[in-house]
Amino acid sequence: MTSRPRQGSSRTRIWDEPARRNMLMNLGFGLAVLAALLTLVVALAVGWYSDHLAPAIKVNGITLSMDDVARQARVNSFLIDFQTRQTRTLLSSGKMWATDADGRIQALTSQVSQVVSLSMNQLTDGSVMLDLAAKNGQTVTPADIAATEQKAATQSELRHVWQIVVAPTMTGAETAPTDAEKAAAKTKADIAFDALKGGGDWATVAKSFSTDTATAPQGGDVGFIDKNSSLDSAFVKALMAAPLNTPTGVIEGADGSYRIGRVTETIAPQTDPTFAKQAQDAGISQADLDWSFQYAAANAKLRDWVTAQAMASAPQRHVYRIYMQSSPSESDPAAVSVRHILYAPNHDAQKAAQLPASDPAWAAAKALADAAYARLQKDPSQFDAIARAESDDTQTKANGGKLGYVTPSSGLTKAFADAIFAKGLQPGQLLPPVKTEFGYHIIQIMHFPTDAAWASKLAAQATTLDVFKTLARDNSDDAQAAQGGDMGWIGQHTYQVSDQVASAIFAAPIGKVSSVLTVDGDGVYLFWVAEEQTKVPDGAEADTIKANAFSAWYTPQREKYTIWQDPALSGTATS
């Protein structure tokens, strides 16, 4: 057999040819570069989306983006700057009280660092309000938005104010004036007011009677203020309503001082005609302003609507109540509700422990306690009045000495605890003076748990309104206890009280005690309805409604919405 070798292939592999090899390498490099570019584009797109279009807020399916938050933040930054410049202008022109101007500029400055979270909350609540407005037939119109913008551009009415301040003169280490010190200050203020009514010169009277060292030397000249002044709120309210050159009368302040005011000049509200131009110069378009102010317009629209409903003529009831606030201590089987009157050496409970037992102040305190105990043995109904007038416990004096429920773990001083946790004590029992490191205590056992059971016993005793008022004075935990539980006039849909409490009030008989109402997490109630009238709310009732109606209506409405905020911006994820 003849052997023939295999004929070699005449074809060369593609990879072996330099030109083709270079082409493929270049193609692969190009594909790699393209892939890198695509990755970069995708990364940039994702980053841009995250920075601009990614959801920042969701409210029941309504989504607001990062761009929306940035848009609102730009508007807010402009408004903060506008208000700051406006305040500085008023200060430099002498048309704003320096204390008010400094306080406002400081508050505005603090808002700068919070502008993103402020914007988040405005957009969140604004979205809820726009939806609620639509559901309740309150359409936000371009005119509403324009009116809201004009309000932002308008400086409130300014009033040139003069004041006479009479502060109680406190002695020792008191943190609050005594009733006697307040009465002396009130008398002094009344004398000043009588001098003004008699034709006395304002500046002369102010220099003679005012205790305010900042304004008294200038005859009480405060300068210009507006409705948002940092002066005492009750005083500001009286000043904004006062006729020109007419004293306000004596106004008691939250700080215990008494004030008389006078307005000598007013400057009407003024709208800055350059507001929109200033916004434009700051990069804020009219469309941005309109978009932002729609949320504030929805707030105003809803607020007016809710308040108008609450202020409409409707059945009103004059109500008295007994309210016992819920306490976790009530569940302790050893708990007891007590009240006390303290007589401290030198009327200073904080320094009593520093005095030796031989100090005459201890004997004087004991003599006062013994005398009060003797009076109460004859007439226990005087406990509340004596506690409010004479007790040296500044924390409980204003509520008639009530301590509420206390238990062995409440941290009471041993002598006090031994007295109230003794066996066999009965509701209403009066204990002889007990000496502690604070002074001598006269203690009354009020009742044992539960509040609901005790309220039922009180209901059985409340046969007349006068009896009910006495029971409210001695048992109620609210500020109205001193007035026999008088709540004033209450409407069913005026948002003065919760819906549950309002329903109980309007289910109660007129001229008789109501059933016991227990509200979980709140407390136990008894009501006495003195009368019912159909009328428009007025006086203090109207003030309360105007101040509280919207928030009382809006809060439960908002809770029905599912709300999400980007936690990176707001610090919270859901509501």
The residue extents of the domains of the chain are: 18-52, 54-148+283-311+536-575, 158-269, 314-325+453-535, 333-448
Could you give the maximum distance between any two Cα atoms of the chain, in Å? 153
Cα distances from 222 to residues 61, 96, 151, 261, 263, in angstroms, run 52, 9, 26, 10, 10
pLDDT on residue 493: 92
Distance CA 455, CA 281 (A): 66
pLDDT interval class at 308 (50, 70, 90): very high
C-alpha angle 545/487/517, rounded to 5°? Answer: 105
pLDDT tens digits, one per residue of 111-120? 998 999 999 9
pLDDT on residue 146: 96
pLDDT interval class at 425 (50, 70, 90): very high
pLDDT tens digits, one per residue of 493-525? 999 999 999 999 999 999 999 999 999 999 999
Percentage of the chain exceeding pLDDT 70? 89
Q: Looking at domain 333-448, does it have CATH number 3.10.50.40? A: yes
Residue 30 has pLDDT above 90, yes or no: no
Residue 311 has pLDDT above 90, yes or no: yes
314-325+453-535 folds as Chitinase A; domain 3 (3.10.50)
Residue 367 has pLDDT above 70, yes or no: yes
Do domains 158-269 and 333-448 share one topology? The answer is: yes
Percentage of the chain exceeding pLDDT 90? 83
pLDDT on residue 574: 41
Mean pLDDT across 246-274: 95
pLDDT tens digits, one per residue of 125-169? 999 999 999 999 999 999 999 999 999 999 999 999 999 999 999
The more confident residue out of 566 and 8 is 566
158-269 folds as Chitinase A; domain 3 (3.10.50)
Considering the chain, what is the average pLDDT of its residues?
Answer: 90
The more confident residue out of 21 and 47 is 21
Distance CA 160, CA 96 (A): 9
Distance CA 159, CA 332 (A): 57
Between 206-210, 258-262, 293-297, 570-574, the lowest mean confidence (pLDDT) is in 570-574
Residue 41 has pLDDT above 50, yes or no: no
φ and ψ at 493, to 5 degrees? -125, 45
pLDDT on residue 330: 93
pLDDT on residue 38: 58
Mean pLDDT across 411-422: 96
Mean pLDDT across 58-76: 94
Distance CA 93, CA 477 (A): 50
513 three-class SS: strand
Distance CA 231, CA 159 (A): 13
Closest-CA residue to 185 (of 239, 255, 240): 255
The more confident residue out of 575 and 179 is 179
- The CATH number of the domain covering residues in 54-148+283-311+536-575: 1.10.4030
pLDDT interval class at 187 (50, 70, 90): very high
Residue 36 has pLDDT above 60, yes or no: no
Residue 390 has pLDDT above 80, yes or no: yes
Mean pLDDT across 248-264: 95
Mean pLDDT across 303-323: 96
